[in-house]
Structure formats: structure tokens, C-alpha cells
Chains A and B, each alone.
Chain A
């Protein structure tokens, strides 16, 4: 009881990690990026389809990992496809996590300097954020999971309060007609919306930490469904209030939605500060978990202690975050990360699963 021999997380904790990883910058940008592709009010259908696709991909990843319930992806991919290819693949995934982490960091800095702190230098904003993140992940997966559990209910409450405040300017007509131009526009948007759900890949690493690895599928499904609900609510409210044309022209449509109404008689007339609180916490969770995933990968590849890697990655993350010259570069990097994720986590796990099936029961004895 006093010291558990190994860091373990419960099934709800695994689900919470997935939820918090998915809910990141997408909350603010998804309405625009999806509407740009779809151009009809049916974005919410694309969001649902994207979520379902993500669930399928996630289940494949979980099934793959469950073949090796004691190992993370970094440890077992060598066994499936050999030491060198496996190592290279792990490196790719580490780079992916680093990029994601840096991307989250930069998105945060952009929004903060756009909305809250116009004069403050970006390095100062990112710096304290990174230090706090480092402080958290030094404690390992368990504190991370617990912090996420605290952030999640705050997110849900604040988010719902803020979004439902905007019901005043919601016009159902902006969402009509449903499927007015058929299903083709909807399908065009599915890729974009699916990318807003990147996050289940963390299950590749979480399963050995879970105290009931056999319940991982459940954790994953819950973990994707809750962001799905969030995204659908966001998209419906944003498009309902701002209309399709209004959404496309705005950089951060969700924030603009909150800024576009005032409720008098309450302490705050404008609620973007509440939304920002939630959003910063969500970015923090996405940032820390991908940071941790990258450090964990390096540690497991080199079979050394994780702490030097955590400290060593800090400047690298800062450099990655500073690469984009402006906000458009930043969005391009976001797209790039999305495409990488599509290949790495959409197709690769399926491939690996098939290979490991073909190789047969060889691993069953190991596990």
C-alpha cells in the first residue's frame, strides 16, 4: 500500500488521458477547418463520422497493443518487424509526439498573445508553461493521469456553461438544410474532422500501465465519445450562431462566438476568459502527455532512465515550437502532423496487427 511497485492507472484514468489528449487546439479551430472543407452546415455529420473512424483506428491500435500487454509500442514493435525497422518506426513516433507537443505549445502561445497578453514576449509565455509541464511529468504517468482527472470536470463544466450561454444568438436556420447538397461535401470533411481526433495513439503506450489492460477498448471508446460530443456541440453552436460564411473567415471561430455576445447582470459580461481557462488547461494536458510519450520513447529505446531525456527534450521542444514564422505556418504544421498521424496511426497499426497475426502465436508465450 505504501509504495506500489509500479505506476498503474485505472481504466477511467486511461479514458481521461485519451479525452484530454484529443481535446486540444481542435476545440478552437475545428469549426473553421472543417467548414472550409465542407461548405455546408452539415459539418456536424462529418464530425460524427470522423469520430467513428477514429474509434475504429483506435480499436485496431488497442488490439495490437493488447497482444503485448506488458510492453509499450516502443518495446514490442521490434519483435514484430525486427530491431532496425522497429527502432526507426519508434523514432518516427517519438518525432511525431515531439512535433505534436511543440505544436500545442505554439498554439497556446499564439492564442495567449493574441487575446490576453499582447505585449508579453512569446518565449516568456512558453517558458513557464514548459517548466510546469516538466515538473508534472517528472512524477511519471500517475500524477499525469490524476492531474487530467482534475482538469476534465473543470473543462466539462466551464465549457458547457460558456457554450450554452451562446444559445441567445443561436439560429437554427443557420444549420438548415440538412444534407441539402448530398453526402459528398460531408465526406470531404471527414478527413479534417478525423484529424481533430488525434489522440487515441496514446493507447499504444498506455496499455502496460493499465491495471486492467483487457478493458482498454472500453477506455478508448469512452475516451473518443466524450470529445465527439464536445466537438458536435461546438460545431453546432458555432455554425448556428455565426453561419457557414461567418465561420470560414475567422481564425478562432469558437472564441469569436463567445466574444460576440454579452450577458448582463452576471459578474462577467463576456465569457471568453472562462473558455480560455479551460482551453489552456486542455492544451497543457495535450502538451504534457505528448512530451511524456516522447521522453518515454527515448528512454525505452536507449534503455536508460527517463529523467535526463525529459530535461534534454525541453530546449528541443522550445525550438520546435518556434519554427513556424506566423500563424499560417503554424496551421500548415498542424496539417502536416495530421497527415503523419493518418499514416502512422491509421494504417501502420493495421499493418502491424496483420503481420503479427501472420507470424502467429509466437508472442503468446512471451506475453
Chain B
């Protein structure tokens, strides 16, 4: 009795939605509706998608009743296992034996409604009324079921994308921390976030980007922490994306960033779910795109680019030490070659006399000015690095050794560069490897060259002016309304606890103020 009520409810519901849909469809397009002519319907479907070699049509006799039916699916996109083991068997059993009715009765009652409610035991089933809709569903992996005499088709959710297994993030390896990295599947990625324990307040809002090939994009934030204006701004910028295809989140990043002329990245990308969760907890917003393991985090600050999740996983003393080391590395990566040039070509009087004598003695055979010498080595290192990146894994390190050691050694012996410069260049290269964000390391690598040119033209003064210029740019830069240099400036002493020094966790009681969070207290 109860069962019957429930079923009739469902069927009513189904009818209602069905009617709604048909109304919508008729308003859009009335020429591609299904008719009661099965052959014609099939012909129309074949015309629409039948020319694709991967679309399969499987005709059969439904329930041994003699009514012709067909399932349509795309090989590779649909889960063949599900079709073979669950859908086809339940459609092809003898209905009159199975449902204890005589054949004519069964024959008369076969309809999409009946199949949906009584026969198919899979979770996702919906009805569609138009061929266009059927085609687009089939091409994304669903299976369509057409029955002779029905005015609509059933779409069965059999989509099964091929995903790779979860691996450790390659671009952000940690010694200590979760070994989980995002994958190319959006639903996997969102499930990492859900699975982290934040449930009722984690909002995952879906958007579609790309005019031609539509891709799903999810904006993630924590409802009771994030500043609603920030979410609004992020959503506005995403809605403004106007491009035919978005292959990777790098496209999104470049289309929503504040200043496209700046060399500094204004959006953080990460492969690590734990990093995204930490950012969400600070009131930031994450953007995940289907088809890429790189999630985006906004807004960002320069200090974030020099932090690694490991700073927090280790105890605070090593965390602080590593972080300070990284700041030092950033300064070294940016300024070492330019300071070398400035002191060698302009102010050799300012370095200790003995050192000056030994450097100049070493350089006496070098036929080039310091700038050319430094450029020569810096560019070779960059080329080596790029070459090592593209080479197959077993050859890469060998290549690095050959390039780094032999070219450096040989260049010194040939008298093209001085040994001190080799040290300088090596130090610079190592320092730029110590930057945890690849894109930020890139920025420093690029800015090194203008700094070197300034040093070659104006010496130490040029380096200072370059520093002032760069800082002037940085103080103007904003990422989604948050000053890029906060919390360094404007001074927020309470947030300096997590800037260069990583204070003990129990002392970090508040979320960053710059995020204007609804709920500023982390604990206590």
C-alpha cells in the first residue's frame, strides 16, 4: 500500500518534470521532437551523431515482448561494465515471467515511465524529449534508451571518465605532509575538499566557462568565514571570462588577474588540497577547474608565495628557520649577480682589499666586462635548466651535471669567466630553486636581468633605484582588493607573527585581518 503511494508520487513527479521539460523544449525548438515513428526517430538520431565512429547503437527486443528498442552510447566515455551487467540484462529478461503478467498486458504497459520505475535499477535516469538534448547527453557519456512507440527517450547516467590514481603532487613535494595531490577530475578534487571534514559551511558553486567547449569550474569558499564581497568579486570576474576554450586553470588565472603587466603572479596555483583548505580557512577563495590538477587561490600576497605548508607542519623553530632562509634566498636570487656587477665594475674599493685583489686577479684574463660575463653564465644556466626540464627523467640529472660542472669548469679554464662569477651564478640558481612557488621563482629569475642591467649602468645606485622601482610597483599592486605586500605594509604587527617568523600555533589566534573575514577568531 505504502509502496504504491510512493510509486505514484514518483511517477507524478516524473510527469510534472516531464511536462515542464517538454514545454521548455517546444519553446526552443519544435522540429527535433521525437515522433511515434521509431524508424524516423532513429534516423534523426543517426543523422545527428551517427557519423561518429565511437557512437554505438545496440538494437534489441525489450523484455522479449517484440517491441523494438535501442541503446545508444559512446564507446570509452560510458561505463560498458554497467551497461553490460545491469542495464542490458534487466531490459532483456522475459518481462511477463519477471512481472507475473501475461504478455499482451505487459506489451500494452511498456513505456519509458514503466521502464524507469520498474525495470532499471540504476540511480541516474531522466527523460528527454528532443534529439538535440539526447545527442549532447550521449556525447558526454550517458546512455540513451529509445523504445518504439514512446514520445521520449530515457537517458541513463553511465558517464565514466578515465581518471588517474591519486599521486603525490609533483610540483610541490614536501617531506612532511599529506601525499595527496589534485587530479584532473573535478569531482575527485571537490571530494578532497569535502573529505577534509569541513561539511556544512564549505560552499562549492559551479560555473561554466568557455563558449565553445564548456568546462565546469567550481568556486570554493567557507560560508561563515569568507567576506561575501570577495566572493561576489571573484564570481563577477569569472562571469566576465569570454573565451572559446579554457584548457587549463592558467587561462582562468590570466583572465581574472588584476594587472596583466605585472611580473608578479597575483593568483596562487597549487596541486595540494591541504594548501587549499588552509587558504579557505583564512577566508580566501579557491577556484577549481575541470581537467587540471592545479587549483587557484585568491587573493594572494607576496609573503604567501614564499611560504610552504611544511612551515606549519614542522615545529615552529624549524618552520621559522626555513622561512627566514627562504626570504634570504629570494633576496639572493634577485640581487646577487647585480651586486657582483656593481661592485666589480664600479666600486671595487668598497669590498675588502684582499678580496678585491683576488677577484680582480682572477678576472685579469677575462676579456669581457662584468655584465657580459654574468649574462653569459646566467643565460647558460637558464638554458640548462629549461633543457633539463624537458628531457626524459633518466637523462635530466646527468644533463645537469654535464652542463653545470663541465661548462662552468671549462669556461673558467678558458678564461671566459672568473671563478667568483661561477660561485655567484650557482648561488643564484640554487636560491631560486628554494622558492616554493614555481611561478614566483620565475618572476625572480626574470627580474634578475633588469637588475643586472641597472647595475651595469649605474652601479650600486642603479641597484637601489631598481629596488625602489620594484617596491613602488609592489606597493601599488593588489590582488582582488588586498594589497600585495600586506601584512608587511600597512603595518599589522599582529599578523607579523606569521610573516617571516612562524610563531607557535597557539599564538596565532586570528585569521588575517586583510581578508575581512566574518569570523576573525581561529581559536580561543
Question: Which of A117, A124, A135, A276 contacts B472, CB < 8 Å?
Answer: A135
Once the chains bind, are B352 and A268 in contact (CB under 8 Å)? yes
Who on chain A is nearest to B352 by CB? Answer: A269
For chain B, the count of residues having a C-beta within 8 Å of the partner chain is 34
A56 located at the interface, meaning its Cβ lies under 8 Å from any Cβ of chain B in the complex: no
Given known contacts A264-B352, A272-B350, is B491 in contact with A12 (CB within 8 Å)?
A: yes
Once the chains bind, are B489 and A150 in contact (CB under 8 Å)? yes
* Residues 343-375 of B at the A interface (beta carbon under 8 Å): 346-347, 349-353
* Residues 126-155 of A at the B interface (beta carbon under 8 Å): 128-129, 132, 135-136, 139, 143, 145-147, 149-150
* Residues 416-472 of B at the A interface (beta carbon under 8 Å): 458-462, 464-465, 468-469, 471-472
Report B-chain residues with C-beta under 8 Å of the C-beta of A112: 461
Report A-chain residues with C-beta under 8 Å of the C-beta of B489: 145-147, 149-150
Question: Which of A139, A277, A280 contacts B476, CB < 8 Å?
Answer: A139
Report B-chain residues with C-beta under 8 Å of the C-beta of A277: 460, 464
Once the chains bind, are B475 and A143 in contact (CB under 8 Å)? yes
A9 to B349, CA, bound (A): 42
A269 to B348, CA, bound (A): 12
A225 to B459, CA, bound (A): 34
Who on chain B is nearest to A288 by CB? Answer: B472
* Residues 218-236 of B at the A interface (beta carbon under 8 Å): 227, 229-230, 233
A100 to B465, CA, bound (A): 20
B483 located at the interface, meaning its Cβ lies under 8 Å from any Cβ of chain A in the complex: yes
Who on chain B is nearest to A136 by CB? Answer: B472
Secondary structure dominating the interface of A: helix
Once the chains bind, are B458 and A143 in contact (CB under 8 Å)? no
Report B-chain residues with C-beta under 8 Å of the C-beta of A268: 350-352
Question: Which of A2, A146, A264, A284 contacts B475, CB < 8 Å?
Answer: A146
Report A-chain residues with C-beta under 8 Å of the C-beta of B468: 132, 136, 147, 281, 284
Question: Which of B230, B349, B469, B485 contacts A146, CB < 8 Å?
Answer: B485
Who on chain B is nearest to A128 by CB? Answer: B465
Q: B353: shortest Cβ distance to chain A, in Å?
A: 7
**How many A-B residue pairs lie within 8 Å, measured between CB atoms?**
98
A280 to B459, CA, bound (A): 13
Once the chains bind, are A150 and B227 in contact (CB under 8 Å)? no
A72 to B446, CA, bound (A): 42
A3 located at the interface, meaning its Cβ lies under 8 Å from any Cβ of chain B in the complex: yes
Who on chain B is nearest to A131 by CB? Answer: B469
Report A-chain residues with C-beta under 8 Å of the C-beta of B516: 1
A2 to B346, CA, bound (A): 45
A270 located at the interface, meaning its Cβ lies under 8 Å from any Cβ of chain B in the complex: yes
Q: A157: shortest Cβ distance to chain B, in Å?
A: 13
Q: B346: shortest Cβ distance to chain A, in Å?
A: 7
Once the chains bind, are A10 and B458 in contact (CB under 8 Å)? no
B264 located at the interface, meaning its Cβ lies under 8 Å from any Cβ of chain A in the complex: no
A273 located at the interface, meaning its Cβ lies under 8 Å from any Cβ of chain B in the complex: yes
B195 located at the interface, meaning its Cβ lies under 8 Å from any Cβ of chain A in the complex: no
Once the chains bind, are B350 and A129 in contact (CB under 8 Å)? no
Report B-chain residues with C-beta under 8 Å of the C-beta of A117: 346, 458-459, 461
Given known contacts A2-B229, A112-B461, is B472 in contact with A147 (CB within 8 Å)?
A: yes
Once the chains bind, are A150 and B461 in contact (CB under 8 Å)? no
Report A-chain residues with C-beta under 8 Å of the C-beta of B481: 1-3
Q: B461: shortest Cβ distance to chain A, in Å?
A: 5
Question: Which of A3, A9, A116, A136 contacts B459, CB < 8 Å?
Answer: A116
A264 to B490, CA, bound (A): 38
Report A-chain residues with C-beta under 8 Å of the C-beta of B350: 268, 270, 272-273
Report B-chain residues with C-beta under 8 Å of the C-beta of A129: 465
A162 located at the interface, meaning its Cβ lies under 8 Å from any Cβ of chain B in the complex: no
Report B-chain residues with C-beta under 8 Å of the C-beta of A132: 465, 468-469, 472
B202 located at the interface, meaning its Cβ lies under 8 Å from any Cβ of chain A in the complex: no
A277 to B339, CA, bound (A): 12
B480 located at the interface, meaning its Cβ lies under 8 Å from any Cβ of chain A in the complex: yes
Given known contacts A135-B469, A143-B472, is B490 in contact with A280 (CB within 8 Å)?
A: no
Question: Which of A128, A147, A272 contacts B471, CB < 8 Å?
Answer: A147
> Which has the most chain B C-beta neighbours within 10 Å: A117, A146, A272, A284?
A146
A13 located at the interface, meaning its Cβ lies under 8 Å from any Cβ of chain B in the complex: yes
A108 to B423, CA, bound (A): 34
Who on chain A is nearest to B339 by CB? Answer: A273
Once the chains bind, are B490 and A128 in contact (CB under 8 Å)? no
A326 located at the interface, meaning its Cβ lies under 8 Å from any Cβ of chain B in the complex: no
Report A-chain residues with C-beta under 8 Å of the C-beta of B460: 116, 273, 276-277
Per-residue interface assignment for chain B, residues 496 to 524, with 1 indicating a CB less than 8 Å from any chain A CB and 0 otherwise: 00000000000000000000100000000
A120 located at the interface, meaning its Cβ lies under 8 Å from any Cβ of chain B in the complex: yes
Per-residue interface assignment for chain A, residues 231 to 273, with 1 indicating a CB less than 8 Å from any chain B CB and 0 otherwise: 0000000000000000000000000000000001001111011
Report B-chain residues with C-beta under 8 Å of the C-beta of A264: 352
B120 located at the interface, meaning its Cβ lies under 8 Å from any Cβ of chain A in the complex: no
B488 located at the interface, meaning its Cβ lies under 8 Å from any Cβ of chain A in the complex: yes
Report B-chain residues with C-beta under 8 Å of the C-beta of A120: 458
> Which has the most chain A C-beta neighbours within 10 Å: B461, B464, B475?
B461
Once the chains bind, are A139 and B464 in contact (CB under 8 Å)? no
Q: B232: shortest Cβ distance to chain A, in Å?
A: 8
Q: A151: shortest Cβ distance to chain B, in Å?
A: 8
Who on chain B is nearest to A111 by CB? Answer: B461
Who on chain A is nearest to B491 by CB? Answer: A12
Who on chain A is nearest to B480 by CB? Answer: A2
Q: A271: shortest Cβ distance to chain B, in Å?
A: 9
Given known contacts A125-B458, A128-B458, A273-B347, is B488 in contact with A1 (CB within 8 Å)?
A: no
Q: B306: shortest Cβ distance to chain A, in Å?
A: 16
Add 5 more A-B contacts to A116-B347, A117-B458, A146-B475 (CB < 8 A). Answer: A1-B229, A13-B491, A132-B468, A139-B476, A146-B483
B residues adjacent to A (C-beta < 8 A): 227, 229-230, 233, 346-347, 349-353, 458-462, 464-465, 468-469, 471-473, 475-476, 480-481, 483, 485, 488-491, 516
A residues adjacent to B (C-beta < 8 A): 1-3, 9-10, 12-13, 112, 116-117, 120, 124-125, 128-129, 132, 135-136, 139, 143, 145-147, 149-150, 264, 267-270, 272-273, 276-277, 280-281, 284
Minimum-distance CB pairs A-B, first 5: A2-B481, A146-B475, A136-B472, A149-B489, A146-B489
